[in-house]
Structures are given as structure tokens and as C-alpha cells.
Amino acid sequence: MRRPYHLSDRWHHFAQPFGRYMSHRLHHLAEPPARVVAKTGLSPNSLTLFGFLLNVGVAYILATGHFLLGGSLVLVAGAFDLLDGALARVTGKSTRFGALLDSTIDRYSEAALLFGLVVYFARNDATTELILLFAAVVGSMLISYVRARAEGLGLDAEIGIMRRTVRICTLAVGLMISQVVIALWALAVLTNLTAGQRLFYVWQKTRKGESKQG
């Protein structure tokens, strides 16, 4: 008997292709400039660390309230985050440690950007924005954590709409069009929904595997 098509299935079938398409498309677009960077002799790990320093500088700009400039630079810094992986692929210098370093620095970079906004809104006693930022930080960290734990179980939980590239674009656009609160609402809600979606996905997969063994 064919099982009923639930609302969760519709969300899963929409969110997974959209998030995957955005991520893969941007990574593909990063390869031509990565070939140019490869001629400079820079290593992927050096580019990763440079991108982190750039994100720290952007965080300072956000902390001072220059959101239009900060939002533009968020995209520039995000481009560097894409370039390191693309550089590793086009030069054949992909390593397991490089992948771990890239993933770790990405988390630090994202946290730095959000911390810059925390400093700004804390100075202005903006309680709602601070709560949204806290929820966004938790959701963003859980997205990566659930995926990592799923991989430890032998499962690929790289699903959901709010992948890192989508989160960065959402934040940057919100900053540039002076709709920071809307962007923070989107990040706070959708990051935690994505983390929950990944957790639910793993639960479904493990339940099916355990039922077969039983």
C-alpha cells in the first residue's frame, strides 16, 4: 500500500533540491576564478585562513553599524570561503585535514559575523534582535553538528534549505537592503527547522535499518 504524502514530504522535496542546487551552483561558479588564483601559488589552506581574517574584519564593520558596506563585504568574504574548496579541487590538493580545517574555519567565520551583530544590537539594547541572533547561532551550529553525527553513523544528512551558502546570502541581502530583522527571523527559524529536518531524516533512516534487522 502506498503511504500517504505528508506535508513533511513536500517540505523535504522542496528544501532539499533548492538548498543543494544553490550550494552546488555557487561551488561550480567558484572554479573559474579558482584556476586564476591557482597561478599565484597560494595554497587552499592559506586562502581558508585569509578568508577567516576577512570575516573578522567584516564582523568589526557590522559591530559599528555599517550594514550596507558590511553586507557587501559578507558576500566578498563568502566568495573566499567558496574559493578555498574550489582551489583544492582544481589543483588536486584536496586533503582530509584541509577539508576539516575548511569546515572548522567556516564555523568560526559565521560565528564572527553574527557576533559582530551581537555587539551592535547589545549596544542598542535591541533584545528581540539578540534573541534572534542566539537562535540563529544555535540553529547554524546544529545544522553542522547533526550532519557530522549522521556521517558518523554512515548516513548522508546533507539536506535542508539553510545550508551555509544560503545562510550567508540571506544575511548579506538583509544587511544590504536594510531588512536585518527580517533576515534574522529567517535565519533563526529556518536554521533550526533545517537542523530538525536533518534529525528527522536520520531518525527515519535508522528506524528503517533497525526494523529490517529486527
The answer to whether 9 is a known catalytic residue is: no
Catalytic choice (81, 84, 102, 106): 106
Q: Which amino acid is at 163?
A: R
User: By CB neighbour count within 10 A (0-12 exposed, 13-18 middle, 19+ buried), where does 47 fall?
Assistant: buried
Contacts of 169 (CB under 8 A, 6+ apart): 22, 75, 78
CA 213: distance to chain centroid? 35
Rounded distance, CA 11 to CA 189, Å? Answer: 14
Which ranges constitute the DSSP H helices of the chain? 7-29, 31-38, 44-63, 67-91, 96-123, 127-152, 164-176, 180-213
Give the angle 8-9-11 at the CA atoms, nearest 5°. Answer: 65
The enclosing H or E element of 30 equals none
Known catalytic residues are 106
